[in-house]
Structure 1
């Protein structure tokens, strides 16, 4: 086994590994290839793979989180190791490389995500589980009917929305419960990670407009006939009116009309309003993971 820095041509193997370990996560080959070849600006992003006989059996990425108001936070993405190669040191070697990179770029606090069965591994490496995340799936056969917006509300596909207006709405709505809030992402980074993401389906992604303000939205990232509800949010002043359910239902309807057959999403277990929306839409739980934190000496 060897650990090396990821290369763009690793993307197909990384996506195949992700589909095996986390089948509910949706990120396609070209989107993964772009992230490796052209990392997000200003984040000191890097990734590592574990290889056995020239076959990728593990993956981890690490970066400085500059999307949050919290200082000196580093992230290690969900660490993937092929089930047949666990217990042989690949996970430890990948995590060691990722933490070393974060030390080099000045991170002092680190968040990662761990499957329930991986919590003992996380604890052994100094991480403390903090919050549970629920993954859910929805079969879009049949698709939900297109909802009728209430008076004064317009439903728009993102193809009809200016990205700077969406960025402002995204910032205003980014107060959901989590250990590291994404409350200060710059327009440049938001544009890279959201608007210009190769997986973003702008025709399915939906925003609700009242007057000249974007007040709610639901983003769809797609890979073939699978989609990920990347973020559904409502600007605080407009909550309690059913707008999150409205835009998410519209986005699911449009995605299904475009050929999507199954939708995945995730929610913090403390986010009762959004969990209730998903239950009403028919989502069923398919997995979970834990946000885990540690200090970095």
Structure 2
């Protein structure tokens, strides 16, 4: 019915069926048929029309005066929504694990802020699985398989998990030569690694982790304690790459690692994805494709 209301207003604005036919590029007979259908639905005649002229009835004039501003407002809102969907501006709310968002992905946030000055990023960095359907975020970064079929997902890469310790700690306590030797060391664990096993890529052999001296729900603390010489940390490579590079940490048992975990961008399924979300997805994909720390491991 909305389309017929728009046609009615356009016919009145044009002054005749023939003029409206030329403007709308639609046969006059089609316009007349749809106008008659609208009149039947409303139960009143809207226009007196003849071959040469057309006049509004009293009911038609009243209806026109009510419909025209409403349709104009609807058109304005539609254009405004189209602009919002196709311009990278406004508020972009993102959920991310602290270990990724506060370290590895810093170049992505910088790129978004530099490229899109009308964009405001709101980053919620924590390890909780917040509800994307509550409207609190447009997109989330998550580590591990994502079974929720209500979410769109894009695989960005993989994160390895290593055993690391400081040179000072190893000089004092010695370097473990096998997973069993970890029982003689202070093991520093963050969730969810307390439930994982070490695996040797060469032959698939597995080994249980011994009980931890520290268990915490933040991945950054074990790395910091390892840097301070407090023990052996189980740490994502994405969180300790700089320390391995500068020598403040060393990787232990390099042939033994935990199973690599996939990193996904996920967002609610919707008919139209706003441009700001599409821009972030593109930035994340471009970054991940060039970032060695997110490369697919040979064992996957």
* TM-based fold match above 0.5: no
Q: TM-score, normalised by structure 1?
A: 0.27
Tell me which protein shows more helix as a share of its residues.
Answer: 2
Q: Which of 1 and 2 has greater Rg?
A: 2
Tell me which protein shows more strand as a share of its residues.
Answer: 1
